[in-house]
Structure 1
Amino acid sequence: MATEKIKPQLGVQLWSVRHELNRDFSGTLKRLKAAGFNAIELATELGPYKAKPKELRSLLEQLKLKVSGAHVSITQLLPESIDATATYYQTLGAEYLIVGWDPRSWDPNGVDKLISQLRSAQSVLSKYGLKMGFHNHDKEFSTYQNTTFWDYISQSTDDNFILQLDIGWVSAAGKDPINYLKRYPGRTYTTHFKSWVPDENINNKAIIGMDLIDWPSIIEASIEVGGSQWIILEQETAPKGMKTIEALIKSKANLQQYLSSYMSTRKDIKS
């Protein structure tokens, strides 16, 4: 997946605020917009808009929020449902659909079937102008056939198939995210930036810039090698006494400082 080097757009994965969305969908989106987010990556929580893409698009246009893409289940991409799924997200102006989780991705008896379904779905989605990909957790980095399940999936899909690397989960698996960005150059069109700290460092705050991850190097590799056009911020945990959305806003502020610092040194990268 060849991509030019540009400053990635920043979005937020709505799974971060799923509980807030369940209580007040539109109000939560308004709060994210007020916090400076201009784009969202949809999750499974669609509130009252699950079957109303035109109404959801109208709300997003009012808030001036762009949809980068969405996490979907493989069930939504099977032959009997994929056209409806593609039409829904095409209506919202999404660029890509990512299968966010499937336990067969670390199952020796299921991974080949999953890959077959991913390939078939990619073929259909391309006709709608949508990119297709898969998102990792930690178990995909378990050993399989002298490599890992993640490598097996990556090598069994073509170069246009997005490998949405989740930096936090790769770190949790004890692997080096930069190594994986370099191993499959140009395939991380969208990357999940999520803080992570090991249990023995529980006093460290799980907020970008206050954790143990080398974010400046991650940013450089994502842009220079991974070809990231989207950086999607996700917040799964928060320090004690802080709401998740507050931690998300803090992570965003720190991330933007890293991004600004990097971009100030790279005049050859388009903003």
Structure 2
Amino acid sequence: MMNRRAFLQSSAAALIAAHAHSLFADPLGLPIGCQTYPVRKQIATDFTGTMKSLRTAGFTNIELCSPYGYKDFNGLQQYKPQELRRMLSDWGITCISAHWAPSELFQKADESIAYAHDFGMTQMAVAALGPFNYKGTETADDVKRYVEPFNAFAEKAHAAGITALLHNEGFVSAHIDGKPVYDMMIAELNPETTKLQFQVSTLQQGYDPVTYFHKYAGRFLSMHCQDWVKDPSTKSGFRQVPLGKGVVDWKAVFAAAKVGGIKNYFVELEEDPALMPPSVPYLKSLNV
């Protein structure tokens, strides 16, 4: 994990480079966003400094993690949701989305929805349904069993003007008898109350964002952006790099994202948060 000085230096360098590309439109004409989970350790010790560094790097939209469901975000409990939103606004940052622990959505749905509503969020995402470390013995009936409470939560959220998002990690990206669980879950989701948030790194598991944005046109709302190169020295066989420096064809992804319905996207490079600021100049130069 990088230290604060490295993050600040990287942010400043990215800002200079981003200014040089200021004449170019951001992809889809949307603000450049980032997921805050990669900088969770910095948030735990210096929330203000971390947010200002992200803004300096060129990120104007963030996706938080729940202060009650994610340990490193517990410090944000000291702020009322309206106060937290005002702080971000003062720093030039918007936040309409957050990730929540499954227990918050299924066991404390009313409290979680109330927090998101008071904050002004319009999207509530869950990283996975079912076991994150699945055994491989799950069945199609298990898929339905995991989706059912999410649909129930989504109905409540929808009544409050909030869209429930399913993110495709963990068991969501598994296969049962050769069939992708992701497709099975999409078939069970209520399209009137739920949308999808695509994790681009699942391309490594055969989930091509271009294919899915076209296959399920209009069902998507958001995506997390990762880029990588093959690296046999790593456990996974891949190593993350700044967007535009790896194997992902971002022009094709963003072009398909229009069809899929993407309205916001977040850079998320968890292996090394210092890789996130250098992704901004590339995104500013990318015309789709």
Query: Which residue in the other structure is 2:210 paired with?
Result: 178
Query: Which residue in the other structure is 2:4 paired with?
Result: none
Query: Which residue in the other structure is 2:61 paired with?
Result: 39
Return the alpha-carbon distance in structure 2 between the equivalents of residues 54 and 141 of structure 1. 35
Identity of aligned residues (%): 24
Task: Summarize the Cα distance change of 1:100–1:204 in structure 2 as closer, same or farther, 3 Å threshold.
Answer: closer
Aligned length, in residue pairs: 246
Return the alpha-carbon distance in structure 1 between the equivalents of residues 240 and 148 of structure 2. 40
1:135 aligns with 2:172: no
CA RMSD of aligned residues (A): 2.2
Q: Out of 47-56 and 19-28, give the one that drifted further.
A: 47-56
TM-score, with length taken from structure 2: 0.78
Higher relative contact order (CA 8 A, sep 6+): 2
Structure 1: runs of 5+ lacking an equivalent: 1-5, 239-243, 263-271
- What amino acid sits opposite 2:90 in the alignment? Q
8 Å contact kept, 1:104–1:110 = no
Q: What whole-Å deviation, never above 9, does each CA across 1:4-28 have from its counterpart, x for those lacking one?
A: xx63333110012111111211210
Q: 1:40 aligns to what SS in structure 2?
A: strand
Q: 2:32 aligns to what SS in structure 1?
A: strand
Return the alpha-carbon distance in structure 2 between the equivalents of residues 47 and 27 of structure 1. 17
8 Å contact kept, 2:224–2:267 = yes
104, 115, 118: which one pairs with 1:88?
Answer: 115
Task: Summarize the Cα distance change of 1:138–1:114 in structure 2 as closer, same or farther, 3 Å threshold.
Answer: closer
8 Å contact kept, 1:134–1:163 = yes
**1:224-243 matches, cutoff 5 A:** 225-238=259-272
63, 75, 79: which one pairs with 1:48?
Answer: 75
Task: Summarize the Cα distance change of 1:171–1:198 in structure 2 as closer, same or farther, 3 Å threshold.
Answer: farther
8 Å contact kept, 2:229–2:246 = yes
Q: 1:211 aligns to what SS in structure 2?
A: coil
Q: 1:57 Cα shift?
A: 2.0
Query: Which residue in the other structure is 1:3 paired with?
Result: none
Query: Which residue in the other structure is 1:195 paired with?
Result: 227
Return the alpha-carbon distance in structure 2 between the equivalents of residues 29 and 89 of structure 1. 19
Return the alpha-carbon distance in structure 2 between the equivalents of residues 181 and 61 of structure 1. 31
8 Å contact kept, 2:128–2:171 = no
TM-score, with length taken from structure 1: 0.83
8 Å contact kept, 2:226–2:240 = no
Q: What whole-Å deviation, never above 9, does each CA across 1:155-183 have from its counterpart, x for those lacking one?
A: 11122421111111x21213322111111
**1:72-221 matches, cutoff 5 A:** 72-78=100-106, 80-104=107-131, 107-108=138-139, 110-137=142-169, 139-144=171-176, 147-160=179-192, 161-168=194-201, 170-200=202-232, 206-221=241-256
Q: 1:196 aligns to what SS in structure 2?
A: strand
